[in-house]
Amino acid sequence: MQTKAERSPTKGLLFGLIITLAAVAAYSFYIRVQLSGLRRLQSEMVDRNRKDSLQLLRVQNDLNSVGLAMRDMLDAGEPYPLTAWTAQFERIRGDLDVALRLEEQLAGANRTEDQRKYLSQSVAQFWAAVERMFSLAAEGKDAEAREQIRLTLQARQESLSTAVSRLLVQNNEGEEEAAGRIAKIYDGVQRQLYLFLGATLVTIVLTSLYLIRTNRMIFARLAALSEQRSDLAQKLISTQESTLRHISRELHDEFGQVLTAIGSLLGRAGSHLPEGSKVREEVQEVREIAQSTLDNIRSLSQALHPVLLEEAGLLSTLDWYIPTVERQSGLKLHYEKSGAPFALEGAANVHVYRVLQEALNNVSRHSGAKEAWVRLNFFPGALELEVEDHGKGILPEKNGRGIGLVAMRERAELIGGSLEFLQPAGGGTTVRLHIERQKVEPHEG
């Protein structure tokens, strides 16, 4: 059964994500609807009103042109007969008809049926009166024609101009109304945007707080597990060293003493045999085998736990160990020391030795290199050990995950050091162990 600290935050985060996406989708739909309405309002009302107003202004201009022409026709000093104005009136009438047709198409629902009828009837009546006036003028009745202009045409022209002006005012009022509705839509969208942003910020804050709280619990759990792992690793390494020390001493003391005694007895026995006899030669051969076995056991004992570490320290042990590895593995080792040496506590000596041992084992078994460089640097405030080879190198996917590499890291952590796996310029691998001096110096007491 999972505890509260171990419970995954995935469900809560997915729920929050679904709510956020739903809110974004709903708000996007709302904005789309509002903008669609806004575009429709602008295209159907504002733009059409503006175009309609332009046509109304065109009508107004034609009516003004008619008004000026009639004023000139009433001028007694005008040298031209009234029939001379026929062509100008026909041109104005053609332009006015086109403008009125376009205006009727653009007006749409903005015009009432009464307004449409009034405007069309007024225009028709005006041009009918114009035709009667030109008929009288053609019959030579100029006085009656001018009377027709003063009494009928000017009044109808002014009436049409007034009607068109009212339509222009109506269009302006419609544009103002549309502008107000557009502003209202903008205000609504802006208000909804602020609300949405506020809700989003609240959601982000709540999600962040939830993540922070969950991460704190997870990291607390990880810290506890890491501490437990570190304690377990320390106990395992301590047990391993204790076991290796015990086996090393058993090999050195028990088996070493037995083989030493066997060699001594064989030496005494051989001295009693005749010189040059076959048995004496065989006894001597067995004695040499016993001595060789004794040497191998002593080497194995030193490899398991070099007593030299406890007796002479790290430097002397490495002076013995590196030539031994070079002889046994066939590697060409370049050993360099620098700086003023300082003493290390017993556990630190063992851990540094084991890191070097594992690093050289990796060079011998896995790198394919024929030589390696071992550098032991004593700085004023730290100790640094480097093992470099120019072999295959450590694969990225396996970097630091092998059992031996994990053990090296654990040993570095136990003495408060850091372990790095680097790639030198010439290829291969550099293992670097860095330890602060104050953490490995022997404590007084």
Summarize pLDDT for 312-327 with one digit per residue, the tens: 788 888 888 888 888 8
H-only helix segments in 139-153: 142-148
Has residue 251 been placed in a domain?
A: no
Mean pLDDT of all residues in 2-16: 61
Integer Cα distance of 398 and 405 in angstroms? 10
**Domain closes at, from 162, 178, 211:** 211
**Domain closes at, from 155, 181, 211:** 211
Burial of 46 (0-12, 13-18, 19+ CB in 10 A): middle
Integer Cα distance of 2 and 421 in angstroms? 37
Q: Which tokens sit at 404?
A: 């031996």
Residues written for the chain: 445
Mean pLDDT of all residues in 209-223: 83
Report how far Cα 67 is from the mean position of its chain's Cα atoms.
74
Q: Which tokens sit at 388?
A: 């470099």
**Domain closes at, from 195, 211, 227:** 211
**Same domain as 143, residue 11:** yes
Mean pLDDT of all residues in 188-214: 80
Residue 203's pLDDT band (cuts 50, 70, 90): confident
Q: Is residue 1's pLDDT more than 50? A: no
Q: What is the mean pLDDT of the chain?
A: 81
Mean pLDDT of all residues in 206-232: 80
According to the model, what pLDDT value does residue 3 have? Answer: 45
According to the model, what pLDDT value does residue 275 have? Answer: 78
Q: Is residue 272's pLDDT more than 80? A: no
Residue 383's pLDDT band (cuts 50, 70, 90): very high
Has residue 355 been placed in a domain?
A: yes
Burial of 424 (0-12, 13-18, 19+ CB in 10 A): middle
Q: Which tokens sit at 166?
A: 């009212």
Please list the residues that pair with 388 across neighbouring strands.
Answer: 373, 430
According to the model, what pLDDT value does residue 377 have? Answer: 93
**Same domain as 185, residue 311:** no
Q: Which tokens sit at 147?
A: 């009377």
Q: Is residue 228's pLDDT more than 70? A: yes
Mean pLDDT of all residues in 121-138: 90
CB atoms within 10 A of CB 258: 13
Mean pLDDT of all residues in 400-409: 73
Has residue 366 been placed in a domain?
A: yes
Integer Cα distance of 130 and 145 in angstroms? 9
330 by DSSP, 3-state: which? coil
According to the model, what pLDDT value does residue 49 have? Answer: 78
Contact call for residues 59 and 110 (beta carbons, < 8 A):
no
Please list the residues that pair with 334 across neighbouring strands.
Answer: 373
**Domain range spanning residue 188?**
4-211
The pLDDT > 90 percentage for the chain reads: 13
Contact call for residues 369 and 353 (beta carbons, < 8 A):
no
Q: Is residue 350's pLDDT more than 70? A: yes
According to the model, what pLDDT value does residue 7 have? Answer: 60
Q: Is residue 189's pLDDT more than 90? A: no
CATH of the domain at 414: 3.30.565.10
According to the model, what pLDDT value does residue 309 have? Answer: 75
**Same domain as 207, residue 68:** yes
Q: Which is higher by pLDDT, 25 or 337?
A: 337
In the chain, the number of structural domains is 2
Residue 252's pLDDT band (cuts 50, 70, 90): low
Residue 90's pLDDT band (cuts 50, 70, 90): very high
Contact call for residues 131 and 47 (beta carbons, < 8 A):
no
Range among 15-19, 42-46, 193-197, 380-384 with highest mean pLDDT value: 380-384
Q: Which is higher by pLDDT, 274 or 125?
A: 125
Q: Which residues contact 46 (CB under 8 A, 6 or more apart)?
A: 175, 178, 179, 182
Helices vs strands, H then E, count in the chain: 13, 5
Burial of 147 (0-12, 13-18, 19+ CB in 10 A): middle
Query: Quick one: DSSP state of residue 305?
Result: S
Mean pLDDT of all residues in 210-218: 82
Q: Is residue 6's pLDDT more than 80? A: no
Please list the residues that pair with 335 across neighbouring strands.
Answer: 374
CATH of the domain at 182: 1.20.1330
Mean pLDDT of all residues in 412-427: 86
